[in-house]
Amino acid sequence: MIRQELLLDFTSRFHADILDLEDKSNTRVYVNITPESIVRIGTYLFRNIGARFNIATATDLPPKIEILYHFIVEDINLLISLRVFLDREKPEIESLAKDIEAFNWIEREMSELLGITFIGHPDPRRLLLADNWPEGVYPLRQDYEEWDETADRTRGV
Amino acid sequence: MGKTIIPIGPYHPLQEEPEFFTLTVEGETVVDIDMRMGYNHRGIEKLSEMKTFENSTFVVERICGICSTSHPFAYTRAVEDIFPMEVSMRAKYIRTIIAEGERIHSHLLWLGLAGHFLGYNTVYMWAWKLREEILDVMEILSGNRQAYAMFKPGGVRRDIRSEDIPICLKKIDSIVPTLVMLKKAVLDDPVLHARLKGVGIMSYQEAIDFSALGPTSRASGVARDVRKDSPYGAYQEMEWDMIVTKNGDVFDKAVVRILESFESIKILKYCLNNLPDGEIDAKIMDVPPGEGIGHIEAPRGETFHYVKSDGTNRPLRHKVRAPTFMNLPTYKATIQGETISDATIILAAIDPCYCCTERIAVKDGKGRMLYNGKDLIQLSREKTEKIKKRMGGR
């Protein structure tokens, strides 16, 4: 399948869920979709198109939290990034890790670093943060403040 | 951890990086595995937000001590993708030379350690001796054995002097006969065949489901390599083969890495022989607002960087995804049903850090500790000895 066909098929199949499509360059496409459709579209890309899941990246952009799910279709060298915006007060989205193993760790990571709830995640434990890290403190939020009075952060910063 | 908690950063498989595995066993058989990590969480993603675009290159170079170039390579490509822009041909060649030299020494390091775990210390000594030669080449080219600091957004920081090239070529040629011998010693050894074949198999479908990367997935028949699929650097300039095998066991992972080293030598020699003239640095001044993605094939698989810029001189968000982040969870598929004596080599087969093997604890059903890392390596070696004896005391 060539690039134009794939994008045409993709946009017509999910036209109700796609809010905006940015054709940035030959190898990069950013698609803004509704959060409700992420499992449908993500699974379609992964299972039907045969795209490999690169990773997801979440960014805190008050008043929203943005998640980008990066998929690469290697046959045509096209990186498709699905963009969803979540409400920063109550960031919740359906988990893709239920069906696809590759999403497991990154959803755990985003959940502890930005406080996003992945509904239906099979193993919602912490991945990286220490045991004495307080609940509800998310280090990648823009308004993150130092909570540990004993921490020494003077070196190298 | 205690008091020096650093809030956030990439997880990366350094050598000697701590991770904690818990294997649940029934008799000799592993029935479940759980892993904990984050002990080496340094907060590099957060740190990068406080550095300028150029300074972040040096921060990401320190994520990993083995593939120290793969992160700056992916990061600089991510920054260049914001524009988007291409660097000069000479800069591309120099980047490729550094990246391939690193791949050779990384694969040799893995081969040596794999031999060490199996009780083949001769392999270990030979592989690390060859690795020294490559590190010498890297020192001639960049001035350093590790952390070459050659990369910057828009090009490379230092040029390669033309008088150094013949010296490097001679050194590279000198290791080829020994590498061929090592390849034969490993791949034609009946004991290693008996020891490693059919151990820790990952099927094609599992490799797809876990989105496994690099040699780990290529050993399972997934013919994917960022260097071929999304060409970057100078990789499309010359002929080279992607090494793919189909069995997915530990032996095939070793085969992929050994044969890949020969391809890397081919690429390295071509680049040194055909280094084009030209500028090495595009001297970019301001990074416009926007976002960029850079992904490259590191020795262990695809390294992925995402950078978001808001028009200031610092990244608004910098996401680092090291290949082992995707490869590590495949343990779940490969280790269940295997014996404890195979656990170390299966865990080592994806080329993570080796400190992790020292951190494995084997528990019985009641939660008592049975073995520590040292015992496990010992068990692994004893199994090799048994196979050797069975095959006629070789």
Q: What is the mean pLDDT of each run of 10 residues along chain B (394 residues)?
A: 28 47 76 74 83 91 83 94 92 95 92 83 90 93 90 93 95 93 89 88 93 93 93 93 93 92 95 94 90 93 93 91 86 82 77 44 49 70 81 64
List the structure tokens of B138.
């890297």
**According to the model, what pLDDT value does residue A1 have?**
66
Q: Do A101 and B210 touch (CB under 8 A)?
A: yes
Quick check: is A33 in a domain? yes
Q: Do B4 and A25 touch (CB under 8 A)?
A: no
**According to the model, what pLDDT value does residue B348 have?**
76
Predicted TM-score (pTM) of this structure: 0.89
Residue A56 sits in a domain whose CATH number is 3.30.460.80
Question: Could you tell me if B38 lies within 8 Å of chain A, comparing CB atoms?
Answer: yes
Tell me the pLDDT tens digit for each residue of A131-147: 888 988 998 898 888 88
Mutation for B interface: A52, A66, A113, most B CBs within 10 A: A52
Quick check: is A64 in a domain? yes
SS3 B190: helix
Chain A hits for B41, CB-CB cut-off 8 Å, are: 128-130
**According to the model, what pLDDT value does residue B370 have?**
58
Q: Do A144 and B7 touch (CB under 8 A)?
A: yes
Q: What is the mean pLDDT of chain A?
A: 91
Tell me the pLDDT tens digit for each residue of A103-119: 999 999 999 999 999 99
Quick check: is B198 in a domain? yes
Q: Which residues make beta-bridge pairs with B361? A: B22
CA–CA min distance A9, chain B (Å): 22
**According to the model, what pLDDT value does residue B393 have?**
56
- How far is A55 from B326, CA to CA, in rounded Å? 9
The minimal CB distance from B46 to the residues A52, A101, A139 is found for A139
Percent of chain A at pLDDT > 70 equals 96
Question: Could you tell me if A64 lies within 8 Å of chain B, comparing CB atoms?
Answer: no
- Reply yes or no: is the peptide bond before residue B84 cis, omega within 30 of 0: yes
If one counts the domains in chain A, the total is 1
Quick check: is B359 in a domain? no
CA–CA min distance A32, chain B (Å): 14
Quick check: is A129 in a domain? no
Question: Could you tell me if B62 lies within 8 Å of chain A, comparing CB atoms?
Answer: no
**According to the model, what pLDDT value does residue B352 have?**
67
If one counts the domains in chain B, the total is 1
Quick check: is A22 in a domain? yes
Quick check: is A139 in a domain? no
Quick check: is A49 in a domain? yes
What average pLDDT does this structure show over A34-48?
Answer: 95
The minimal CB distance from B209 to the residues A27, A75, A102 is found for A102
Residue B175 sits in a domain whose CATH number is 1.10.645.10
By CA distance, what is B35's nearest residue in A? A127
Does A121 score more than 90 pLDDT? Answer: yes
Say if the ipTM goes beyond 0.85: yes
Range of the domain at A90: 3-95
- How far is A110 from B231, CA to CA, in rounded Å? 30
Quick check: is B330 in a domain? no
How many C-beta atoms surround the C-beta of residue B314 within 10 A? 16
What is the Cα B144 distance to its own chain's centre? Answer: 19
Range of the domain at B132: 51-311
Quick check: is A123 in a domain? no
CA–CA min distance A5, chain B (Å): 19
Quick check: is A103 in a domain? no
Chain A hits for B1, CB-CB cut-off 8 Å, are: 130, 132
**According to the model, what pLDDT value does residue B15 have?**
39
Quick check: is B3 in a domain? no
